[in-house]
Amino acid sequence: MAAELTAHELTAQHRPTLDQALEAIRTRAYWSPHPEHPKAYGENGSLSMAEGKAAFDALLGSRLDLGQPGTDDWVGGETSPYGIELGVTYPHADVDVLLPAMRAGQRAWRDAGAETRAMVCLEILKRIADRTHEFAHAVMHTSGQAFMMAFQAGGPHAQDRGLEAVAYAYAEQVRTPDTAEWTKPQGKRDPLAMTKQFTPVPRGIALVIGCNTFPTWNGYPGLFASLATGNAVLVKPHPRAVLPLALTVQVAREVLAEAGFDPNLVALAAERPGEGIAKTLAVRPEIRIIDYTGSTAFGDWLETHARQAQVYTEKAGVNTVIVESTDDYKGMLSNLAFSLSLYSGQMCTTPQNLLIPRDGIRTEEGSKSYDEVVADLARSVDGLLGDDARANGLLGAIVNPDVKARLEAAAGLGEVALASREVGNPEFPDAVVRTPVIVKLDGARKYWEGADDEAAYMNECFGPVSFAVAVDSAGDAVELLRRTVREKGAMTVGAYTTDEVVEEAVREACLEECAQLSLNLTGGVYVNQTAAFSDFHGSGGNPAANAALCDGGFVANRFRVVEVRR
């Protein structure tokens, strides 16, 4: 077909952005082309706040026909954590028809080369960015994130992570030149001369298995890394968070077609309730790459069984913050309070275990006992969430009944330092909104002593649950940190200390156990947030995840280079 978007036009428009992204991943200084403020949208083709809301409302109850081959049914049934039925239906695929159709366009996509693929990916991201306000509602009403977070994390931050993956993918592919002339001297004889062509080739079809809480943020890196390296991409969203990824697939298919490529290079695999299609797809021989975010159990299953594929998993971990000493006690408390509260702790990066010496900590206000620190932190969370409107804006809604059940059970695990409370949401009365619970545990009390403290803090309790774990010393805290990362994995580690020896011990533990460390955060950066182009999300070196977002290792095996020499 004649392309409406030529490679030349796309390059003129997007190459400067790619170049900036390439520079950013090299320097890791701050950079983003995607504005974070809702008011920055509404001009130059992007939807305004009102337009985005209207576009989302128009989707409710609709059939999202993506024009996919092999569509044998229409499925859907998402209920927002805020209580509303989305009523959107999506194509259900006969994978024996869809998968072959996805391969049909791979040769042209491969032959287009790394730069054109990057430019098409950037155009997809640009059109998604223009609809950020629409995506914000889609993310909000599937993940339960509050609007502002859904807007930022589901919009510009997710787009940043997608662009970052495109930049890494592009850089990796162009490390080898397209052609080389090789001339080897042979003494007095004529030199040997060869012409060599190098072509990045895709592995096949990539499968992205989305999650409920961050469908775009966690979905985009794998999606764009695989697409930019020449693979077709099948997106299998979480059944409760289909819409944001279905819209993404829709945009990708539009752009591919306009650029003269087969839209079936990107497709959606929505499923019937209980169908469990991920397990079926994951072991299909056509599937050569899998990106997954979710439970450790299924991530481990994928790593064990999907042997025909490169498998990138982000699973569960137990995140620790060591609180040893600080010179900004209030800053520490408010920073921690925010981290525990944001999205009701439903982030893979939220701290779970706060390790605090039982003899207390040193602060610029003098020493504070363990009990004081925990009480002050509880007060700080209470203060942050005292106003219901503000609480709703930070907490969002509980994403599913399992989280609610865990939260309710947590109060029985130890002495409750801060009880969870219900927050009413006037706009969405059916939303389940809860403040975090903080439970006191004792790190020296092992399960064999008749208590189950260790059983509690050594397991992930996903949701708004934190444990204030009393430890004997800073050294014990570091040892427990080490053991937790080694056995359970961690997406994040935090520490507050003014003691250089303690800092060095924590740092060394993180280097040896391979965990990302944030030190003494007291301002507007939080341990549970990472910035694309600068911060790595996960390390890929502990049990929480086998890959990091984003580095060379995340992209280098999504394609191979075939050499033709003559």
Taking CB under 8 A as the criterion, the residue among 217, 516, 532, 544 binding its own copies is: 516
> Token pair for residue 182?
């090789």
Residue 528 touching its own copies (CB under 8 A): no
Q: What's the Cα-to-Cα distance from 252 to each of 73, 165, 227, 259, 317, rounded to whole Å? A: 22, 16, 10, 11, 32
Q: Mask of contacts with its own copies, 221-240, x by CB under 8 A?
A: --------------------
Taking CB under 8 A as the criterion, the residue among 48, 296, 400, 534 binding its own copies is: 534
Taking CB under 8 A as the criterion, the residue among 304, 366, 389, 429 binding its own copies is: 304
Taking CB under 8 A as the criterion, the residue among 248, 425, 518, 528 binding its own copies is: 518
Q: How many residues bind its own copies (CB under 8 A)?
A: 65
* Residues 361 and 333 sit within 8 Å (Cβ to Cβ): no
Closest CB to its own copies among residues 183, 367: 183
First to last CA, the chain: 33
Tokens 């279905």: give the residue: 246
Residue 159 touching its own copies (CB under 8 A): no
> Token pair for residue 395?
């907490």
Q: Mask of contacts with its own copies, 251-290, x by CB under 8 A?
A: ----------------------------------------
Which residues are registered as beta bridge partners of 181? 195
Q: How many CB atoms lie within 10 A of CB 387?
A: 11
Cβ 561 to its own copies shortest distance, Å: 6
Environment class of residue 186 by beta-carbon count within 10 Å: exposed (0-12), middle (13-18) or buried (19+)? Answer: exposed
Q: Mask of contacts with its own copies, 452-481, x by CB under 8 A?
A: ------------------------------
Q: Which stretch binds its own copies (CB under 8 A): 144-152, 459-467, 476-484, 502-510?
A: 502-510
Spatial distance between the Cα atoms of 137 and 557, rounded to a whole number of angstroms? 35
Cβ 360 to its own copies shortest distance, Å: 23
* Residues 146 and 153 sit within 8 Å (Cβ to Cβ): no
Spatial distance between the Cα atoms of 91 and 86, rounded to a whole number of angstroms? 15
Cβ 44 to its own copies shortest distance, Å: 20
Cβ 565 to its own copies shortest distance, Å: 5
Q: Mask of contacts with its own copies, 16-35, x by CB under 8 A?
A: ---------xxxxxx-----
Apex 352 CA angle, 348 and 356, nearest 5: 150
* Residues 385 and 424 sit within 8 Å (Cβ to Cβ): no
Residue 552 touching its own copies (CB under 8 A): yes
Cβ 177 to its own copies shortest distance, Å: 6
**How would you write 95-107 as a 3-class SS string?**
HHHHHHHHHHCHH
Q: Mask of contacts with its own copies, 74-113, x by CB under 8 A?
A: ---------------------------------x--x---
194 phi/psi in degrees, rounded to 5? -135, 145
> Token pair for residue 235?
């997106």
Residue 40 touching its own copies (CB under 8 A): no
Which residues are registered as beta bridge partners of 426? none
Apex 81 CA angle, 76 and 83, nearest 5: 85
Residue 557 touching its own copies (CB under 8 A): yes
Give 441-448 contacts, CB < 8 A, sequence gap 24+. 441/413, 441/414, 441/467, 441/468, 441/469, 441/470, 442/358, 442/414, 442/469, 442/470, 443/355, 443/469, 443/470, 443/471, 443/472, 443/476, 443/477, 443/480, 444/358, 444/470, 444/471, 444/472, 444/476
Residue 515 touching its own copies (CB under 8 A): yes
Residue 499 touching its own copies (CB under 8 A): no
Q: Which stretch binds its own copies (CB under 8 A): 3-11, 13-21, 90-98, 505-513?
A: 505-513
Strand bridging mode 517-519 / 493-496: parallel
Q: What residues from 305 to 344 belong to the interface with its own copies (CB under 8 A)?
A: 307
Residue 62 touching its own copies (CB under 8 A): no
Closest CB to its own copies among residues 155, 215: 155
Q: What residues from 176 to 215 belong to the interface with its own copies (CB under 8 A)?
A: 176-177, 180-186, 192, 194, 196, 198-199, 201, 203
Closest CB to its own copies among residues 237, 351: 351
Give contact residues for its own copies (rule: CB under 8 A): 25-30, 107, 110, 172, 175-177, 180-186, 192, 194, 196, 198-199, 201, 203, 303-304, 307, 507-508, 510-512, 514-521, 523-525, 531, 534-536, 539-541, 548, 551-553, 556-557, 560-566
